[in-house]
Amino acid sequence: MIIDKLENNFFNYRFPEEDGFAYGFNFYVLVNDNDVMIIDAGFRTQAKKVHKEILSKKLKLTHVLMTHFHPDHVNGLVVLPGDITVLGSPEYHKTIRKEIPQTVTPVSFSEGFQFGDFSLSFTATPGHSACSILIDINGKYLHSGDNLMSRYDGKALLPWVEYNQIAQHILSLEKLKAKKPDIVILGHGPALLNKKEINQAIEDRLSYLKAVLNSEGKCSWQEAIKDCSCQYADNDFFKQLTAGLTQ
């Protein structure tokens, strides 16, 4: 686990890629006096390490804010205290498959949430999952959840999406683009730190998704990425997406 301080009371606890996983994982940690909010809960082993580090600083984990409820984001909740407040999309029940010890409190898309000096607002972005949300932090950082993903070596990861949700995912990426964020932070991979980099990352994913959708899933891998400027780490998600559609 590597800890980076982004600014006062705002940290990135990151876990680089390990054998068997194509991507690493970020916990973003917000501190309000002695209380701590983390964004996403990762896997159990990761959540344990993050919680141990928080306790070592004489702080108390009080909130977990979920970008969405896929297993690699939600499993860590099982090893965290049952009395913490878990915040997430009102659509969480459409995705979550594992019983967790906490009750989920739905976020408000109109009112936002205040945590100490951090003003948080939320936007629904279904596609990657029914419960995916964007999280705006103080109008400076925008957490994209898994709408954008990459490895820590800079190689892009393809969007993970089921074929019948591609159109939704495209709309959600357009929402992300329209916000014109200064900094985009990710669940997986390093932050995107300037508008040119952010826009190109979004356009590459849009190009890929539109190519797959317009061909009804019958395009080749080369056709799917021909207008993308980035180098993708692998094409495993493409194979999963188009399996059974190319005959």
Domain range for residue 79?
2-194
Tell me whether residue 126 is in a domain. Answer: yes
Do the domain assignments include residue 91?
yes
Phi–psi pair at 77, nearest 5 degrees:
-60, -25
Query: Is 129 among the domain residues?
Result: yes
Q: Number of structural domains, the chain?
A: 1
pLDDT tens profile 163-218: 999 999 999 999 999 999 999 999 999 999 999 999 999 999 999 999 999 999 99
Would you say residue 247 lies in a domain?
no
Residue 229 lies in a domain: no
Segment 136-146, tens digit of pLDDT = 999 999 999 99
> 225-230 long-range CB contacts below 8 Å, 24 or more apart?
228/204, 229/200, 229/203, 229/204, 230/155, 230/156, 230/200, 230/201, 230/204
Does 114 score more than 60 pLDDT?
Answer: yes
Task: Evaluate whether 104 touches 92 at the Cβ level (below 8 Å).
Answer: yes
Distance CA 119, CA 37 (A): 12
Residue 13 lies in a domain: yes
> Which CATH number belongs to the domain containing residue 149 in this structure?
3.60.15.10
Domain assignment of residue 218, yes or no: no
Distance CA 107, CA 101 (A): 19
Q: Is residue 223 part of a domain?
A: no
The half-sphere exposure of 232 on its side-chain side, counting CA atoms within 13 A, is 20
pLDDT at 32 over 60: yes
Residue 96, phi then psi, degrees to nearest 5: -65, 135
pLDDT tens profile 40-77: 999 999 999 999 999 999 999 999 999 999 999 999 99
The 10 Å Cβ neighbour count of residue 111 is: 9
In 3D space, the residue among 155, 243, 244, 235 whose CA is nearest the CA of residue 201 turns out to be 155
Torsion angle in degrees (nearest 10) through CA of 135, 138, 139, 140: -90
